[in-house]
Structure 1
């Protein structure tokens, strides 16, 4: 087959050559549907590219593929097709990778999430075809299936300047929803609907007649405009107007039924757009699963701080299943008589993300007097429940029974007293934990039979429950309450702004994360001073660097091994599917290489002065108030424990990482046994089973089929790259309604590390993109994990979509004296790599100055002040 074929020909090509995306589009064209013009760069072109550059696909990396050069025949073919597509006018193209594996493996989704939009010249198309190929060798996919060799095709299509767009499911994918064809629509480009950034109009249409069964017209505040694809406020006249006319709905209904019929009756997930009155079909794929979304109201609040990442089925079955009671404060709730919280459904995993029962939270908040209620607690609720809580009669007498029981609870809980919890955790719990986890790790490595491994998994769970129920929940509660009281004292008692509150938290906090950072910095410094090591790290491969260390004794090699031994339970993501540093030490080599390019971190004297100045201001203001001496004493007490428990919380995260590394190890061993019995194709597939399914498999029951595992893999990977809805309300996903007067170029969140910085943005969605981050750039991410910490030494500021003052991003940003704004809804869609942005961590504001055309690589140092 040739290097490039027209999309219309893709329907006759093999899936291995063109991938699922291109073949589906080709079938639509062959069946007479309107699809934007385009072509497919075949997998043969990718193979030719690798051969020409001498790249062995078995050991290739994303970086080596991205640096390759095109052979002349491949470049000429792509250039010619691109020139024909773009023509002499002002057209633009979209470049999307198309997974080309036929075996139902992880690489059936390899690279299919890479999409590059609004490319206006041939050179840009060539560059992004190469980036699509490189994405198939990213760290994420190598982690999941290191032995598989991907084949990647690429789709290049003309962009449609959509006036309205959305999605259509030929069968309602929500199990709790009404049966029929499900349509969602918004004005402008469709990424706002597909990515879940806005609440779109939605319809359920009768499958036989097209009649509207259900209709919900949303208040639509934002849209992506054609051309530069910028977010802009919705014109006033369109905010509450239906995006679709009855004729357009009927056209979608007819096309949806026809596409399903042409797809052998398989239900389809279709992306569409209207432009110039014409309906274009942008993509179609089979609906893989019917999602069960519970009734009631569910919120990401709290969960997005405790567990921000998407959860694989195995991780979900542990966290929301085996450990659910420990995570949901059931024992204290029972002893205090808080019936609203005594229930089995406090937490649920919906579309791979953890949610808390907002109805239960609202009932509990109605017991607490308004003056004792933190704004943050009410803020995790949707507006309807906020109004219900604020409108209720919240008097002291309703909480009196719980308050009378509280002293007895605190006195009998082993870690329930704030003044000695931190000491008991460090002196009593940590040594016991280390002994027990060490014994379990030894059992995992030496066990031969599945029963012994399942026993080890159960022992891990017993230890995890003890840590979470007896230790973590109290330390977290103390940290959360101290931060809330401290903020009240600074803002309401001392009449100071939030900047002073944040300055108070700038004190360096000693914990395992800061220890690991210091140890990594020491290793980097040693490499800088060793010519051989530096040359190997800068110009050699990860494998060559590690091989060199194996031939050395003592010195740097022993210190590198000690680092892996001490901190190797960490990963860039806590989900069980991610390899830990101790499994893939090349991850640490990559961090060293990144550190080598970064400026050494120096503690800023100015930051300590800011902290002391804030303390002096608060003491001065409080001493002037009535009961000033008492206020100062209380403030000193709260400040002390706020700082103590912020540090302890990060320390406990490390011990949790050790538990999760143990879970990963034991389930991989069990996966080996299931592979040997012919029940799984690869041991890593075990993470796409639940714990109960693994137990049943060893008791003689069946394991899920290859097709079912593949569907779960694809669902999980899709979830990882999209922003989850903040709320689910009776089976429908929604996001908080932003202020109507909010500027499209000014985003608001929670400033958690003070200071300002202006620089070029770098969007990082996962560890596979760490290597793209340049010195002095502004890190923009859905959220971060302890495994992301080495990135903070290179950035000028941090912006995340989730989190609060206690969030890991906030703690590490304060340690590195980097301005941070967290909880910025839609940040990863509104800010693009290359945008010049200003991050104000004192006011919680992010301003977008550029238009995404900047060049971070050549931008130089950011403008920054603390």
Structure 2
């Protein structure tokens, strides 16, 4: 009897002996699923080392498979493929190995991969000890097409497929074709351009005539679907399955539970899109609860006129975080012949794309484009009356919010209140914001660039600031100054700005207006009078105008009107955004009340709005969703913030475990070079400052920022505004010229560089840096 090897289907091939992958393959093969034949090298073999007995048993087991047969040699740690952690991609696999000596060498390399940097980082992150290591040796499936499938994503089965061996899909090196199969057998397919494929010797180019060709026929999709359903039934839970097709026969190469959750929150799996978390990502900087995502989808459908274009999503949920689909926006621009204008207008809003990032356009026929434009045009026309009554409507919806919060607290019919009052109010706020944002976002950039040519960067910055007293985003900060001076009561402050906070779209987060001590903490942390900072910048603005008029009166007169008009647009947009955020506070009240009357309390945040309505009608079946969603939520929150720009199928777990990951950009279609030594972003607010960098991941750590230090963070929003007077300069990963950090910094006269992509990962906390807000650069001095 062998001590160090076991047949693939052995009853003894449990997790402790054969590792997670090996035990799963044994279970699949024993159940009659098409698993390639082979054997296990047990955990005892690694503990013994590659001695004579181990070598002899591996040699004998390999030769029993045939003469010089090509095999796959795959690591199988005892912690792999569990329901809570998967270790996907952390340990080594070797394909096309031939000969006993080569197999033995590959086994030893698999053993060594237990201690590679990637695996150690993953173990540290998920909090487990160093596991045992087995190895699986199997016949190589020389697949013509392969990939992965997820047996349950929102009630559907999803298949990702690419040419060649499966490493390009599992490893994220190519954007695969995507086939979504519902329970009735209907198939939705997204065909990508597949530029590379994996062979036994590595990546090779895909022949040109195959790059845009579907990898699977309908019959193959349904055959894989049948296998996926069998595997799901066998394990009693949704599964992540790796597969390959060789000589027209499908094989199952691996199956693991969908880690820690029944739901995968990842819309990047749906096709080759370019995603950005700029703009609205400022308001939703954290992982969203399911209820928040459900209302954000409604918000975006109203604010963007439609939630999708020709079947492609306008926005997505990637690992619980919000992203906009730039591929959709650029495809619309291309179809209208306005691609240059659209690109120019997107940059001030979403930021500059990382070097080398390309926007894949949607492969749509002209008829599809035309049909997709119809709801957009209708929606734009529908906004006209909202734009006309904006000035009258905003005060009215503000009063309506007060009334609704009172009604929610006492209502015995939350369903009726939602249908009849809360939802219509919410959607009106969304449309008012959409109407206020119709103006060209690129107008400020155009003005700034022209003014810099005329008067220089410093005066251009001063000329386009000085409006802070009228900006809603400055209100929470200036209001603190008014409270301190005794000009504003605490109650009035809470009523006007109690809805603004760092995570103001997340319904599970308490608002400042709910915390009686919040205002005291903010006043205690106010190091400099914000009103004096504002007055200082207004004086600088007036002085810049005097110089402009003296040296170039003709252009000064021309640009005065343009700047005033732009400031009015910004003021209207910010006021409308404030009311949209206030609406989320009203929604939070309604959701919390629903949690109270149904007896589930805070668990209500793990249900979508439609499910809460079902629960209110007595459907307790939705409660079964809560545990798996809570696990998903906390899992995604354990990962670092994802890159600001993502292309293709993004794997949050694999990215987080990579010690060499980039925090600005992830591209599943190609490898990425390391960033160079310089840190560049947008010129947010002019000025040059040298000082100590304080990296602040969240407002919860704001107390670590001392007066005069440089604030370095991922993203800011209105909830961060009270921190700005304490900072000598501001640097953000996410942002653009129209972002919160840039606007507020300009008004306060604080140098700012926004949208750097990865400053938080490249600047050490406490390092001395030089921030040039005019050039948009940050230099690390030590």
Determine the C-alpha separation between the residues in 1 that align with 2:630 and 2:339: 49
Partner of 1:72: none
In the superposition, the TM-score normalised over structure 2's length comes to: 0.59
Deviation at 1:758, TM superposition (A): 1.9
Determine the C-alpha separation between the residues in 2 that align with 1:570 and 1:703: 31
Mean alpha-carbon deviation: is it higher for 746-755 or for 603-612? 603-612
Q: For residue 475 of structure 2, give the secondary structure of its aligned residue in structure 1.
A: helix
Deviation per CA, 1:796-837: give whole Å up to 9, x if none: 111111111221122221222211111011122112321122
Deviation at 1:756, TM superposition (A): 1.9
Partner of 2:603: 685
Q: For residue 405 of structure 2, give the secondary structure of its aligned residue in structure 1.
A: helix
- The alignment covers a number of residue pairs equal to 547
452, 465, 474: which is aligned to 2:427? Answer: 465
Conserved in 1, the CA contact under 8 Å of 2:287 and 2:321?
A: yes
Conserved in 2, the CA contact under 8 Å of 1:568 and 1:581?
A: yes
Deviation at 1:484, TM superposition (A): 3.6
Partner of 1:478: 439
Deviation at 1:454, TM superposition (A): 3.5
In the superposition, the TM-score normalised over structure 1's length comes to: 0.54
Partner of 1:490: 451
Deviation at 1:290, TM superposition (A): 3.6
**C-alpha spacing 1:291/1:372, structure 2 compared with 1 (3 Å):** closer
Determine the C-alpha separation between the residues in 1 that align with 2:401 and 2:302: 18
Deviation per CA, 1:702-749: give whole Å up to 9, x if none: 124353132133135235x423451232556853899989752x3110
Partner of 1:435: 399
Deviation at 1:776, TM superposition (A): 1.6
Conserved in 1, the CA contact under 8 Å of 2:346 and 2:441?
A: no
Determine the C-alpha separation between the residues in 2 that align with 1:216 and 1:832: 40
305, 317, 323: which is aligned to 2:294? Answer: 317
The answer to whether 1:413 aligns with 2:384 is yes
The answer to whether 1:816 aligns with 2:748 is yes
The answer to whether 1:516 aligns with 2:476 is yes
566, 569, 587: which is aligned to 1:663? Answer: 587
Partner of 2:461: 502
Determine the C-alpha separation between the residues in 2 that align with 1:739 and 1:286: 27
Q: For residue 825 of structure 1, give the secondary structure of its aligned residue in structure 2.
A: coil
Mean alpha-carbon deviation: is it higher for 172-181 or for 365-374? 172-181
Conserved in 2, the CA contact under 8 Å of 1:297 and 1:729?
A: yes
612, 616, 629: which is aligned to 1:709? Answer: 629
Conserved in 2, the CA contact under 8 Å of 1:362 and 1:381?
A: no
The answer to whether 1:446 aligns with 2:405 is no
Deviation at 1:606, TM superposition (A): 6.1
User: What runs of 5+ residues in structure 1 fail to find an aligned partner?
Assistant: 1-29, 35-103, 110-159, 187-201, 218-262, 269-283, 332-339, 390-397, 527-555, 624-628, 851-866
The answer to whether 1:777 aligns with 2:742 is no
Deviation at 1:476, TM superposition (A): 2.1
**C-alpha spacing 1:425/1:166, structure 2 compared with 1 (3 Å):** same
Partner of 1:792: 724
Determine the C-alpha separation between the residues in 1 that align with 2:610 and 2:515: 29
Deviation at 1:658, TM superposition (A): 1.4
The answer to whether 1:654 aligns with 2:578 is yes
Conserved in 1, the CA contact under 8 Å of 2:729 and 2:771?
A: yes
668, 672, 681: which is aligned to 1:749? Answer: 681
Partner of 2:617: 699
Determine the C-alpha separation between the residues in 2 that align with 1:567 and 1:756: 32
Higher-Rg structure is 2
Determine the C-alpha separation between the residues in 2 that align with 1:412 and 1:265: 46
Conserved in 1, the CA contact under 8 Å of 2:697 and 2:714?
A: yes
Determine the C-alpha separation between the residues in 2 that align with 1:841 and 1:459: 46
Deviation per CA, 1:728-784: give whole Å up to 9, x if none: 32556853899989752x311012111122222222222321222222221111111
Determine the C-alpha separation between the residues in 2 that align with 1:521 and 1:653: 23
What is the 5 A alignment of 1:382-421?
386=358, 413-416=384-387
Deviation at 1:413, TM superposition (A): 1.3
Deviation at 1:382, TM superposition (A): 7.7
Q: For residue 843 of structure 1, give the secondary structure of its aligned residue in structure 2.
A: coil
Deviation per CA, 1:16-73: give whole Å up to 9, x if none: xxxxxxxxxxxxxx99999xxxxxxxxxxxxxxxxxxxxxxxxxxxxxxxxxxxxxxx
What is the 5 A alignment of 1:578-657?
578-595=509-526, 602-603=532-533, 607-608=537-538, 610-612=540-542, 614-615=544-545, 635-657=559-581
294, 298, 317: which is aligned to 1:349? Answer: 317
Partner of 1:244: none
Partner of 1:375: 344
Determine the C-alpha separation between the residues in 2 that align with 1:326 and 1:571: 23
Partner of 2:492: 562
Determine the C-alpha separation between the residues in 2 that align with 1:711 and 1:203: 35
Determine the C-alpha separation between the residues in 2 that align with 1:32 and 1:786: 59
Instruction: Name the Cα RMSD after superposition.
Output: 5.0
Deviation at 1:316, TM superposition (A): 0.9
